[in-house]
Structure 1
Amino acid sequence: MRLASFDDGRVGVVQDGHVHEVAGFGPARAGEHSAARRLITTHPHLRSAAELELGDPVPLRDVALLPPVPDPSKVFGAPVNYVDHQREMDEAVQVSGLGLFLKAPSSLVGSGGEVRLPYTDRRFDQEGEVAVVIGRRARHVTTAEALDHVFGYTALLDMTMRGREDRSTRKSFETFTPLGPWIVTLDEIGNVDDLDFSCRVGEELRQKASTASLIWGFAELVAYASSITTLEPGDVITSGTPAGVGPVGPGDTIRVDVAGLGGELTVRVTADGAVACPTGRH
């Protein structure tokens, strides 16, 4: 099953090029979590649209997609989680020596949106990834238990400014975490640790890999994240990126295609409003 957030914060099931709004989970009112987060909390093991009351179909082309979960409490990233990327970046250590980092949830943007480069004088790179969305609260879970706490998976772009600033700073500018186009529940795949995916900038294939090549698989990532803090429904944990990272600029279109999603995560890059960077030049 495919679950999308759209328009003013509604949540719906995607079927045959249409989205069917889920009744009873309307746009968030003051003090509420998003409709998607409320739905995931209520139905952590949702597997079939038959479990929900759905509205009439609306063509996907007629809606504006939001991040599938617009308001996760946390977005965890995995640095250097592919050996080929470790070589590419000439890194001495990988995820097992670095742990995880946090990206600001305010950096999320949905498929069809824009990545806004903040500065005119810095390099910005694309990093295509696969992410999982937590379905039920997790704290100190084992690797054997970890995937039982996952609701589904989606595509993610970990946009990055190169330089010596803290990793979370360089990856948390607004619009620097495109997510989507929707979540696919885990029952639709055999193994989240064996998903092929690709990332293109324009017509150039930049990245092509499989999550089978991860150094830490998703069970290890979820278990480790739950040892740091309590994971809440809707939280996002992303895989890290393979080799093929490269610079992007205004006018570029970036697309991430993950096996089984049934749609691409697509964003356009713009530098509208960009200024000179106030921190060190690298």
Structure 2
Amino acid sequence: MRLCRFEDNRLGVVRGTSEAPVVHDVTRILEALPSFRYPLPDHDPLIAALPVLRPRIEALADAAPAIPLKDLRLLPPVASPRKIVAAPVNYRLHHEEALADETLHHGTNILPIDKAGLFLKATSSLIGPSDPVVIRFPEARNDHEIELVAVIGTRADRVSQDQALSHVAGYAIGLDMTVRGTQERSMRKSCDSYTVLGPWLVTADEIPDPSALEMQLMVNGETRQRTSTANLLRQVAALIEKASAFYTLVPGDLLFTGTPEGVAPVVAGDVMTARIAGIGEMKVAVR
């Protein structure tokens, strides 16, 4: 199943062909979610309830008319992640290019992922694919970074690799936009609009093996990044094990798994096209 959020926080099931996808509005299912009073929950309520609600969502989709997806404004498919966890330099060739290019490392120590660990991005940086990335510091270098994103579906605290994927609700495409400089990663990558998630969430049953997905990022039609998740230094399960060793992951948390080589600047007016096999494609403008 492919779930999207669109327009004024509506929920849809995406069906149809990749050339002409359509959306079936299932927003009514949100009435089944519990009502919360302060303090709000520490997780995304829809992602937590997805296993129980899925049969009813499918039934609603079957009965709902098809809306052409091209006519809709897509929001991030996860409304309320409590954490955005990200993996730095998780492809060998990207690690090598970062070490070799001073405009990437700015004299900072680029450690391999096994030594650097993971980092966090501000949830306020999250947007959907229909909104533009707005360059915050045009005088600096601002780079694109395509990544596979795992969406956590159930609470995960100190889980092992062999159990890790059972905690995944689904997958999406991510763009981890980055201001180059000497500041900490979490600061340079947390500008408003610098975390793009979309175009929808593909449930984990449709991607039983996330370790062999082809991905590609183009800017204005020119390929900049292209690889397979087979080349990840730490696969999704290993990243979940590592992250959950430090903090409990909850439903709706996002895990950005790292970007391959080919990172490069974007400027206002550019259009980024990101594709990952088994998930889809999204076009994101730069302003």
TM-score normalised by the chain length of structure 1: 0.88
Q: Are 1:44 and 1:136, in contact at CA under 8 Å, matched by a contact in 2?
A: no
The alignment partner of 1:244 has SS state of coil
The alignment partner of 1:245 has SS state of coil
Sequence identity percentage: 43
Q: Is it true that 1:178 corresponds to 2:199 in the alignment? A: no
Q: 1:43: how far off?
A: 2.3
> What corresponds to 2:167 in structure 1?
149
Q: Is it true that 1:136 corresponds to 2:145 in the alignment? A: no
| Structure 1 moving runs of 4+ over 6 Å | 27-30, 45-50
The alignment partner of 1:118 has SS state of coil
Q: Is it true that 1:266 corresponds to 2:283 in the alignment? A: yes
> What corresponds to 1:18 in structure 2?
22
Distance 2:250 2:36 in 1: 20
Q: Is it true that 1:62 corresponds to 2:71 in the alignment? A: yes
Distance 1:123 1:26 in 2: 45
Return closer, same or farther for 1:50/1:31 CA change in 2, 3 Å cut-off: closer
Return closer, same or farther for 1:204/1:98 CA change in 2, 3 Å cut-off: same
Q: 1:244: how far off?
A: 0.2
The alignment partner of 1:61 has SS state of helix
Runs of 5+ unmatched residues, structure 1 = 271-282
The aligned length equals 268
Distance 2:195 2:214 in 1: 20
The alignment partner of 1:122 has SS state of coil
Q: Which deviates further from its counterpart, 151-160 or 221-230?
A: 221-230
Which of these residues, 37, 46, 53, is aligned with residue 44 of structure 2? 37
Distance 2:37 2:95 in 1: 42
Distance 2:131 2:283 in 1: 8
Q: Are 2:176 and 2:196, in contact at CA under 8 Å, matched by a contact in 1?
A: yes
The alignment partner of 1:165 has SS state of coil
Matches within 5 A, 1:1-282: 1-16=1-16, 17-22=21-26, 23-25=28-30, 37-44=44-51, 51-54=58-61, 55-90=64-99, 93-261=111-279, 263-270=280-287
Q: 1:61: how far off?
A: 2.2
The alignment partner of 1:175 has SS state of coil
Greater helix proportion = 2
Distance 1:92 1:158 in 2: 17
Return closer, same or farther for 1:167/1:212 CA change in 2, 3 Å cut-off: same
Q: Are 1:77 and 1:237, in contact at CA under 8 Å, matched by a contact in 2?
A: yes
Runs of 5+ unmatched residues, structure 2 = 100-108
The alignment partner of 2:77 has SS state of coil
Q: CA RMSD in A?
A: 2.4
